[in-house]
Amino acid sequence: MTFATLHWKTGYDTEVEEIDLQHRYFMSLINRLHAELASTTDAEYRRKLFDELTKYASFHFVSEENLMIKFGYPDHDLHHALHRQLIDELSWRSQSKSEEELFDFLIRWFIEHTVQEDQRFGDYVKNLAVGAA
């Protein structure tokens, strides 16, 4: 796959407002960083761009996991492990793989994880709301 600008689809929504806001931002960040990396050979700047990407991913994961704790999500530990794996994989790939491979991997992971794992949490929150009504 060659990189094409990502656009949000309603099918990605989890309907947990905070998560959807962060996912949208993450997608725009991927687009911006990909374009910026293609425009520079400055090694220090490039390192900092990758840093921006991994730091935002880390922030977003902690934020999502805190919502899982708040709502008593039973699969929180498993979800945390999936996030951990991604962060490890990103740091490994950023050193050993080409930029295109790294972005392909990240985009595939992000979309799959969002529509499968994060939506399971979204469904759980929706069911809690139904139960409480």
Residues in touch with Fe ion (CB under 5 A): 64, 118
Minimum distance of Fe ion from residue 31's CB (angstroms): 20
The span from the CA of 57 to the CA of 46, in Å, is 17
**Which one, of 131, 121, 97, 133, lies nearest residue 18 by Cα?**
121
Give whichever of 47 and 55 is closer to Fe ion, judged by the CB atom.
55
Give whichever of 36 and 77 is closer to Fe ion, judged by the CB atom.
77
Minimum distance of Fe ion from residue 89's CB (angstroms): 14
The span from the CA of 99 to the CA of 78, in Å, is 29
Give whichever of 13 and 64 is closer to Fe ion, judged by the CB atom.
64
The span from the CA of 91 to the CA of 114, in Å, is 20
- Judge whether 46 and 37 are in contact, CB under 8 Å: yes
Residue nearest Fe ion, CB atom distance: 118
Minimum distance of Fe ion from residue 45's CB (angstroms): 29
Minimum distance of Fe ion from residue 116's CB (angstroms): 10
